[in-house]
Amino acid sequence: MTSGTVSSVSTNEIRVASAQVNTTVGDIDGNTQLIEKWIKLSQDQQAELVAFPELTITGYPPEDLVLYDNFITANRIALCRIAAKVENIVALVGFVDSEDGKLFNSAAVLHQGKIVTTYRKIHLPNYGVFDERRYFTPGDDCPIISINGIKVGINICEDIWEPIGPAEVQCASGAQIIINLNSSPYELGKHGHRVKIVSDLSRRHHVYTLYTNQIGGQDELVFDGGSMLVNPDGKLMGNSALFEESLLVADINTDPKKNSLFQQQNYRVSNKNLAQVGKSSTVEISTTKPQTKRSKLPRLSINRLGELEGVYRALIVGTRDYIKKTGFKKVAIAVSGGIDSALVTTIATDAIGAENVIGVALPSRYSSEGSITDARQLCSQLNVELWTIPIEPGHAAFEEMLNNAFKGTEPGLSEENIQSRVRGNLMMSIANKFNWLILSTGNKSEMATGYATLYGDMAGAYAVIKDVPKTLVYELCKHRNTQGPGSPIPQATIDKPPSAELRPDQLDEDSLPPYDQLDRIIHMYIEERLSPDLIIQKERNIGPGDDIDTIVRRIVQLIDNNEHKRRQAPPGVKITGLAFGRDRRLPIASGWQP
């Protein structure tokens, strides 16, 4: 990253690094090694300071692991061990601090073998996927570290999302640089929002802000990184590539002559409001400037991803890390020839390589010839091994076993589900036999409406696209085919009308409204939390339709009635503003009729 040329080092200048790393929750030893390695990398770049993501040592979110005393002890020992090795660099490392039985989401300032000071997060998010008030007590101190006279304020994630937080206190006390440690999960459109928050903060207070985020998947969450440096004008100077481990290194010159903005502290918060956040104190640190000259850094770059590519990368990283961090190597996927399993198989291949993916075609008496051809073409284009296991023997055996119990009843949903569950069983048998992980293929539209069979197509360890609405599934497939490598998803799979093929000539649209309408209704009910009345009003504005009232109420009822299925669904990557899972907690037994 450094070029050969050298520049003279001013006393107003500090070289900072942001280490965008991929930690693993609970893997304290592994995370410790990772931190030590990236401190070394930062030193190789002659950085005087390196910032890591929030809760670096424990991984984020550590959930109830932090309620175990021995976990907290191990995390503190790791911190001391890292500190002992830190030499002529200031390292900011996230860890769980504890005092009098209380826990704090903290950042330690490490220098010359010591923990110089710590910062305790003040604003603890407790909404959406976050449960920080379950574990942590807010801090009440807003320290500034003065590194050779350059004043740096440290805080953590949510702290800068609230109107008045530690950054305000630190800036009022003269901070020239704000460093914010994050574990901020990806969701569609969120990165732009983050840039705005950081930019507004910098401009408001005329300070540099270094924002460090982690990358990687953790159960339902995927962290996208995008660590950034913003200047006192609020201008984004550069950011790390999204979804990749990366070290951002930059020289910050705090000379007021070079940077007139430092002199203007025109944003004022009342002292009373500042006092409510916490008090400020300053800790002095002297580092030995590396030499009078050091290597010149290349220009920072600005990395962006289009929306579809962002979602696709989130799905890849979430899937890859779930497989890797649960200790698996290979996955198997039931490939139906339909669009959902085509997308999941392509994602899995992009995530862990075709040699680690096995497709299993499970045709029934109702499967069309086209489906089998499409499944075959997909796997051949991806170089994925395809097994074929016709399910007729199982299907017939269940009919035989249930013949007596079902005597005199009309065939219906129960009979349809049998096929799906025979497939689920076969996949689980294969998983158990070869120690592979099963990826299930249901999308968000199905998860919402319950258009999926519990223990059938819902069976699996990880539901890759459970937060991807069906219309977005199509867009992602087209995007991936256009983007390459190759165009793995058969055009026939994209073109044909979706069908579960559980009875002759069945089509999804026999039971559900068209997917564009369905996805709009789901979005309004789940993500925007609108009432059916409001949804009906909005749908009426979009287009004609006599039965919009009936359609909306039916979809809302389907969503409400299928909470019991979702509760037993495998986890999957959150990509929207509101995913099923930890993000949305609803009672199963409920008398609410919206």
Q: Is residue 37 at the binding interface for a second copy, with CB under 8 A as the rule?
A: no
Using CA atoms, how far apart are residues 293 and 227, in angstroms rounded to an integer? 27
Q: Which is nearer to a second copy, 247 or 459 (CB)?
A: 459
Burial-class residue 387 by CB neighbours within 10 Å (0-12, 13-18, 19+).
middle
For a second copy, which residue of 256, 302, 533, 545 counts as binding (CB under 8 A)?
A: 533
Q: Is residue 432 at the binding interface for a second copy, with CB under 8 A as the rule?
A: yes
Contact 436, 328 (CB under 8 A): yes
**54 included as an active-site residue:** yes
Site for a second copy in 71-90 (CB under 8 A): 71
CB of 436 to a second copy, least distance (A): 11
Using CA atoms, how far apart are residues 303 and 226, in angstroms rounded to an integer? 8
- The piece of 25-33, 189-197, 294-302, 304-312 that touches a second copy (CB under 8 A) is 25-33
Nearest to 498 by CA among 540, 457, 526, 539: 457
**475 included as an active-site residue:** no
For a second copy, which residue of 134, 258, 304, 329 counts as binding (CB under 8 A)?
A: 134
CB of 515 to a second copy, least distance (A): 24
- What x-and-dash track marks residues 313-342 binding a second copy by CB under 8 A? --------xx--xx----------------
Handedness of CA 205, 206, 208, 212 (dihedral sign): positive
Q: Is residue 276 at the binding interface for a second copy, with CB under 8 A as the rule?
A: no
Among candidate residues 132, 142, 157, 168, the one labeled active-site is 157
CB of 594 to a second copy, least distance (A): 6
Site for a second copy in 200-219 (CB under 8 A): 217-219
- H/E run at residue 312: helix 307-325
Q: Which is nearer to a second copy, 369 or 589 (CB)?
A: 589
Q: Is residue 70 at the binding interface for a second copy, with CB under 8 A as the rule?
A: yes
Using CA atoms, how far apart are residues 360 and 351, in angstroms rounded to an integer? 18
Using CA atoms, how far apart are residues 48 and 36, in angstroms rounded to an integer? 15
Q: Which is nearer to a second copy, 455 or 474 (CB)?
A: 455
Q: Is residue 271 at the binding interface for a second copy, with CB under 8 A as the rule?
A: no
Among candidate residues 13, 48, 121, 466, the one labeled active-site is 121
Whole-angstrom Cα Rg for the chain:
27
Q: Is residue 27 at the binding interface for a second copy, with CB under 8 A as the rule?
A: yes
Q: Is residue 232 at the binding interface for a second copy, with CB under 8 A as the rule?
A: no
Residues in the chain, how many?
594
Q: Which amino acid is at 517?
A: Q
Q: Is residue 67 at the binding interface for a second copy, with CB under 8 A as the rule?
A: yes
Q: Is residue 424 at the binding interface for a second copy, with CB under 8 A as the rule?
A: yes
CB of 82 to a second copy, least distance (A): 17
- The piece of 1-9, 233-241, 299-307, 531-539 that touches a second copy (CB under 8 A) is 531-539
Q: Is residue 131 at the binding interface for a second copy, with CB under 8 A as the rule?
A: yes
Using CA atoms, how far apart are residues 25 and 63, in angstroms rounded to an integer? 9
For a second copy, which residue of 263, 292, 383, 414 counts as binding (CB under 8 A)?
A: 414
Using CA atoms, how far apart are residues 376 and 87, in angstroms rounded to an integer? 58
Pairs from 408-417 (Cβ < 8 Å, separation ≥ 24)? 416/500, 416/502, 416/503, 417/453, 417/456, 417/502
Contacting residues for 280 by C-beta, under 8 A, at least 6 apart: 141, 142, 143, 144, 169, 170, 172, 173
Q: Which is nearer to a second copy, 83 or 426 (CB)?
A: 426
Site for a second copy in 355-394 (CB under 8 A): 387, 389-391, 393-394
Site for a second copy in 444-503 (CB under 8 A): 454-455, 459, 461
Which two structure tokens, joined as six digits, stand for 449? Answer: 């409406």
DSSP letter at 63?
Answer: G
Using CA atoms, how far apart are residues 111 and 453, in angstroms rounded to an integer? 56
For a second copy, which residue of 1, 7, 11, 30 counts as binding (CB under 8 A)?
A: 30
Paired sense of beta strands 385-388 and 357-361, if any: parallel
Using CA atoms, how far apart are residues 467 and 446, in angstroms rounded to an integer? 10
Contact 345, 359 (CB under 8 A): yes
CB of 456 to a second copy, least distance (A): 9
- H/E run at residue 39: helix 28-44
**121 included as an active-site residue:** yes
- The piece of 40-48, 184-192, 265-273, 530-538 that touches a second copy (CB under 8 A) is 530-538
CB of 133 to a second copy, least distance (A): 4
Rounded (10°) CA dihedral 459, 460, 464, 468: 10
Q: Is residue 506 at the binding interface for a second copy, with CB under 8 A as the rule?
A: no
For a second copy, which residue of 570, 574, 575, 579 counts as binding (CB under 8 A)?
A: 570
Among candidate residues 54, 187, 220, 501, the one labeled active-site is 54
The residue with tokens 């569609």 is 188
**Which positions are catalytic?**
54, 121, 157
